[in-house]
Amino acid sequence: MTSPTPAILPERGLADRLTALFWRHPRLLLAVLLTPPLLWLGVVYLGSLFALLLQSFYSIDEFSGVVKEEFTLKTYAELFRAQNLDIIIRTLVMSAAVTIGCALIAFPIAYYAARFARGKWKAVFYLGVMLPLWSSYLVKVYAWKLILAKEGIITWAAEGVGLSMILNAILAIPGIGGNSLSTSPLGTFIVFVYVWLPYMILPMQAALERVPTSMLEASADLGASRAQTFRTVILPLAMPGVIAGSIFTFSLTMGDYIIPQIVGTSARFIGLAVYQLQGTAGNIPLAAAFAVVPIVIMLIYLTIAKRKGAFDAL
């Protein structure tokens, strides 16, 4: 042989030295990769969460308006005053309604994307779901205000096809309706559902994609109708995705303070209450206590979901 290749190749500088270092100490690379995000999560995120929790156990002096830095449950007791409880219940009902609404609309779309869309149509699906996320949230909300307004396209179209009666009947329902769609709780609901829908579709689609076709065939093979297959196979297997999506829609609705200001009655939601309490009112402890409510509700929700076996298929 003219040029024999060596059994061991020479080191080619820094990159090879680092490779060797990481090869000798496999955990080192993991540590290098994980330290910055863990610092961020630990210090900035958990730290501020802890500070928030701490604030919620302080109270405010009613005369001076100064925060008293001693532990008390007084602020939490304030949450149970009628007007505050009202805000919590209103937010909870809206979040639940938005979550259910999103789930009902998202499921057929996610199912189509996971089971039938191939090639070009898959790209169209992703584009269609993601496209609204590219534009500003505020622009979308204001656009909806115009769409839903009394002089807006929906009222106009309803008049045009003679469905004003139905629209007015819906708007006359107490608790849901109002002067126009843009000033009714129904309007708030519609905008919430629109804005958070992608966050429900994507995890659902990912979950449905993981259900093998052979499992649906096995179910049909053993005599199940489509409805039975849906109830006993598809839904339980897709449940982790549904839960993941509902965490998004539920918590995003609970924390939002912009949509209820722009569309709907001016009734307050938790997010708006927090915004106003820490801003104009300067009541940081009560704002913090309000902010803890969604966290507690989410924890309860996840505990129930786990008990019901929603994560068994994970």
**Residue 121 touching other proteins (CB under 8 A):** no
Task: Give whichever of 15 and 222 is closer to other proteins, judged by the CB atom.
Answer: 222
**Residue 298 touching other proteins (CB under 8 A):** no
**Residue 308 touching other proteins (CB under 8 A):** no
Helix/strand/coil for 188: helix
Residues 187-216 that bind other proteins (CB under 8 A): 212, 214-215
**Residue 120 touching other proteins (CB under 8 A):** no
**Residue 221 touching other proteins (CB under 8 A):** yes
Phi-psi region of 53 (alpha: psi -120 to 50; beta: other; left: phi over 0): alpha
At how many degrees (to 10) do helices 235-255 and 284-307 cross? Answer: 170
Task: Give whichever of 131 and 218 is closer to other proteins, judged by the CB atom.
Answer: 218
Listed ranges 28-36, 150-158, 217-225, 259-267: which one lies at the site for other proteins (CB under 8 A) = 217-225
**Residue 228 touching other proteins (CB under 8 A):** yes
Task: Give whichever of 151 and 221 is closer to other proteins, judged by the CB atom.
Answer: 221
The one among 29, 233, 281, 305 contacting other proteins by CB under 8 A: 233
Distance separating alpha carbons of residues 287 and 273, to the nearest angstrom: 7
**Residue 296 touching other proteins (CB under 8 A):** no
Distance separating alpha carbons of residues 208 and 198, to the nearest angstrom: 15
Task: Give whichever of 298 and 313 is closer to other proteins, judged by the CB atom.
Answer: 313
Listed ranges 85-93, 123-131, 139-147, 231-239: which one lies at the site for other proteins (CB under 8 A) = 231-239
Task: Give whichever of 82 and 222 is closer to other proteins, judged by the CB atom.
Answer: 222
Distance separating alpha carbons of residues 257 and 291, to the nearest angstrom: 12
The one among 222, 280, 296, 307 contacting other proteins by CB under 8 A: 222
What is the distance between the terminal CA atoms of the chain, rounded to a whole angstrom?
A: 57
**Residue 223 touching other proteins (CB under 8 A):** yes
% helix, strand, coil for the chain, step of 5: 75, 0, 25
Structure tokens at 155: 């009222």
Task: Give whichever of 237 and 259 is closer to other proteins, judged by the CB atom.
Answer: 237
Distance separating alpha carbons of residues 214 and 226, to the nearest angstrom: 14
**Residue 47 touching other proteins (CB under 8 A):** no
Contacts of 111 (CB under 8 A, 6+ apart): 208
**Residue 219 touching other proteins (CB under 8 A):** yes
Nearest Cα to 201, choosing from 291, 109, 64? 109
Residues at the contact surface with other proteins, assessed by CB under 8 A: 212, 214-215, 217-225, 228, 232-233, 236-237, 309, 312-313
